[in-house]
Amino acid sequence: MLALVGEAGELAELFQWRREDEAAPGLPGYSAKDRGAVEEELADVLLYLIRMSDVCGIDLGAAAAAKIAKNAAKYPAERCRGSAAKYHTYQEMRTEARQQKRGREEVAAEGEAGKEDKKEEEQ
Ligand SMILES: [Mg+2]
């Protein structure tokens, strides 16, 4: 575990203090030597990750596929695309929408009940 964290730290160090344009997709601001270092650290992280999942008896491919499916349910693309908000924000929005809908239905039901009461009073 410590080896995995150490390698992740070595990878992070290669991105620390880099400008956004340098570390953009494809790493346009990196020299061939720096790109090679990133390649090696990514490989180190992957190898330790595979080793750790093997020691734990976890099918890493299946775990990754399950997590992707879970994230897809948590972060529906049509609501989340382009947003970095946490999943509870979307849940809160859904809850508020339900409460507003329920509130409208209750108000409508109260209105109907009020009409019934009035009819009874008039009779
Ligand atoms: Mg390393």
Cα(7) to ligand 1 centroid in Å equals: 5
* Amino acid type, 95: T
Cα(47) to ligand 1 centroid in Å equals: 10
CB contact set of 20 (below 8 Å; sequence gap of 6+): none
CA distance 11 to 21: 18
Cα(44) to ligand 1 centroid in Å equals: 5
The arithmetic mean of pLDDT across residues 67-83, rounded, is: 85
What pLDDT score was predicted for residue 123? 67
What pLDDT score was predicted for residue 53? 96
Cα(34) to ligand 1 centroid in Å equals: 13
Q: What is the pLDDT of residues 4-18, one digit of tens each?
A: 999 999 999 999 999
Alpha-carbon torsion, ordered 43, 44, 48, 54, to 10 deg: 30
Cα(80) to ligand 1 centroid in Å equals: 35
Between 94 and 32, the higher pLDDT residue:
32
What pLDDT score was predicted for residue 37? 98
Cα(10) to ligand 1 centroid in Å equals: 6
Radius of gyration of the chain (CA): 27
Q: What is the pLDDT of residues 7-63, one digit of tens each?
A: 999 999 999 999 999 999 999 999 999 999 999 999 999 999 999 999 999 999 999
CA distance 72 to 90: 13
Any alpha helices (H) in 17-59, and if so which ranges?
32-56
Determine the distance from the C-alpha atom of residue 40 to the mean position of all C-alpha atoms in its chain, rounded to a whole number: 27
Cα(36) to ligand 1 centroid in Å equals: 12
What pLDDT score was predicted for residue 108? 77
Cα(3) to ligand 1 centroid in Å equals: 9
